[in-house]
């Protein structure tokens, strides 16, 4: 299935039904009177977060959604039928934005969460509503109120507990494939990952978490270089970032600083998240090179650096344990 994390849609709620002018005329009843009913309410347009979806591809080809008009009133004080709502089913983690693409209207970050994005119009009053002691035969009836109409942006931010960041070819996809059942594309050239990938990491029968791999960043990504930083939104909700640095390059410290600068350029609190730094591809380095590069990387990041290999699995259990412990602390609110 093609991955799509952004879509623009037009929604139109149903107009309210019209009220009617009617008078009671029945045999053996001496005095009639107004009995025109009110119109029914127009249908709402509702967005609902549902499980089992992880892309907005459904809204690439169907972009216009219109609810039906409420039923008109009728004689004998009959109110028109209300119309059914139109439900937009979106993945958990979808944000609803106004047409300016900046005003956040709703954040559907839990299954079953719903929001009315366009409210249906109320029905118009029939002439029975206007009957008074001094106006016993009103001939006034109102049209239904129009339903709301607007353009909206849907933006998906995947729900993941931990996020993988790093330069292209840092080995993120290999790591994700090694620790979960996800099968991302793996090749020896940069930008093999073109859209985010999710994998469920199971440490044991009771511990598991969701790990997200996003396309690699390059210098200037926050200004649009490479694939840009548009996919960083998918790690905004993560409790911890796993920063993988390619150990086979000559200057891993510079690679680390490059990614941190791009996270800072993107903003949204990513630089404030807990971070675990790992020197990847440890199997491709000599012991001397590994020790010197770990030391240089520790000076750059100011914390302990782990040596791992997604290809052979060396050091992976230790990294997963640190990720799981950090996520557990975040869930407890520590």
Binding-site residues from annotation: 166-173, 191-195, 213-216, 280-283, 309-311
Binding-site positions for GTP: 166-173, 191-195, 213-216, 280-283, 309-311
Cβ-based neighbour number of residue 183 at 10 Å: 11
In Å, how far are 53, 86, 231 from 50, measured between CA atoms? Answer: 7, 15, 22
Cβ-based neighbour number of residue 291 at 10 Å: 12
Binding-site positions for Mg(2+): 173, 193
Beta strands in the chain (DSSP E): 6-12, 23-24, 33-34, 45-50, 64-66, 86-91, 94-97, 104-108, 114-118, 149-156, 162-165, 197-202, 208-213, 240-246, 274-280, 305-307
Helix 316-332 with 172-179: angle, nearest 10 deg: 80
Residue listed under structure tokens 């942006």: 153
Is residue 189 a contact partner of residue 178, using CB atoms and an 8 Å limit? no
Is residue 86 a contact partner of residue 65, using CB atoms and an 8 Å limit? yes
Q: What is the DSSP letter of 291?
A: H
Sign of CA dihedral 257, 263, 264, 269: negative
Query: SS3 for 122?
Result: coil
Q: How far apart are CA 28 and CA 25, in angstroms?
A: 9
How many helical (H) and strand (E) elements, i.e. helices and strands, does the chain have? Answer: 5, 16
Burial of 60 (0-12, 13-18, 19+ CB in 10 A): middle
- Residue partners of 85: CB distance under 8 A and separation at least 6: 43, 44, 45, 46, 67, 120
């Amino acid at each position: 299935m093609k991955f799509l994390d952004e879509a623009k849609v037009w929604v139109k709620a149903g107009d309210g039904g019209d009220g009617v002018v009617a008078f009671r005329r029945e045999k053996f009843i001496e005095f009639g009177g107004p009995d025109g009913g009110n119109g029914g309410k127009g249908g709402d347009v509702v967005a609902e977060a549902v499980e089992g979806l992880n892309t907005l591809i459904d809204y690439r080809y169907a972009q216009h959604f219109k609810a039906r008009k409420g039923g008109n009133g009728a004689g004998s004080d009959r109110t028109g039928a209300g119309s059914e709502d139109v439900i937009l089913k979106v993945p958990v983690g979808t944000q609803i934005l106004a047409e300016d693409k900046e005003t956040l209207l709703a954040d559907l970050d839990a299954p079953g969460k719903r929001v009315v994005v366009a409210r249906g119009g109320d029905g118009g009053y029939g002439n029975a509503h206007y009957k008074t002691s001094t106006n016993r035969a009103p001939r006034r009836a109102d049209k239904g109120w129009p339903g709301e109409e607007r353009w909206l942006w849907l933006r998906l931010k995947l729900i993941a507990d931990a996020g993988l960041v790093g330069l292209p070819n840092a080995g993120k996809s290999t790591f994700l494939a090694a620790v979960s059942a996800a099968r991302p594309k793996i090749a020896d050239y940069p930008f093999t990952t073109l859209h985010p990938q999710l994998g469920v990491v199971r440490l044991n029968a009771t511990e598991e978490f969701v790990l997200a791999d996003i396309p690699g960043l390059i210098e200037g990504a926050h200004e649009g270089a490479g694939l840009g930083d548009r996919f960083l939104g998918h790690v905004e909700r993560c409790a911890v970032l796993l920063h993988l640095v390619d150990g086979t390059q000559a200057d891993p410290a510079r690679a680390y600083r490059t990614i941190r600068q791009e996270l800072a350029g993107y903003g949204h609190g990513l630089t404030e998240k807990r971070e675990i730094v790992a020197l990847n591809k440890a199997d491709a380095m000599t012991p001397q090179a590994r020790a010197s590069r770990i030391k240089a990387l520790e000076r750059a990041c100011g914390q302990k650096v782990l040596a791992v290999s997604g290809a052979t699995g060396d050091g992976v259990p230790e990294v997963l344990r640190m990720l799981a412990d950090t996520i557990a602390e975040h869930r407890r609110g520590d």
